[in-house]
Amino acid sequence: QVQVVESGGGSVQTGGSLRLSCRISGYTSCGYDLNWYRQVEGKKRDFVAGIDSTGRASYEDSALGRFTISQDNAKTTVWLQMNRLKPEDTAMYFCRTIVVRSSASCAFGVGSGQRGRGTQVTVSS
């Protein structure tokens, strides 16, 4: 069973920083990408940053230069360091896995994934 759990959200003032964590468990011998998304209630979910199975990072334009995505060696924890936060960064932040490489030892197919429940980030002006 795959579990994806986000943490680290909170309330900060404009210009502040937060470090979000996403803990992943349950993948054995699977290659997967990990993406961070954010969503404001009533609006669509937006991609923020991602790290693929090779370790390559990608960012949405507004996150470039302010946010940094990283992972531990085992890829069981992925962090999103968010600096110079703005009120428009206020949202629920989710991480989601996408299996991109399966094997005989991997119990999950390519394209499958799991999303966590999210962690709230609130930035006040």
Query: Do β-strands 113-115 and 3-7 pair in parallel, antiparallel, or remain unpaired?
Result: unpaired
Residue with tokens 């299996």: 99
pLDDT digits (tens, 9 = 90+) for 83-121: 999 999 999 999 999 999 988 888 899 999 999 999 999
Segments in 1-125 forming alpha helices (H)? none
pLDDT digits (tens, 9 = 90+) for 37-65: 999 999 999 999 999 999 999 999 999 99
Q: Are 98 and 35 in contact (CB under 8 A)?
A: yes
Q: Are 15 and 93 in contact (CB under 8 A)?
A: no
Say which residue, 27 or 87, is predicted with more confidence. Answer: 87
- Assigned token pair, 36: 């961070």
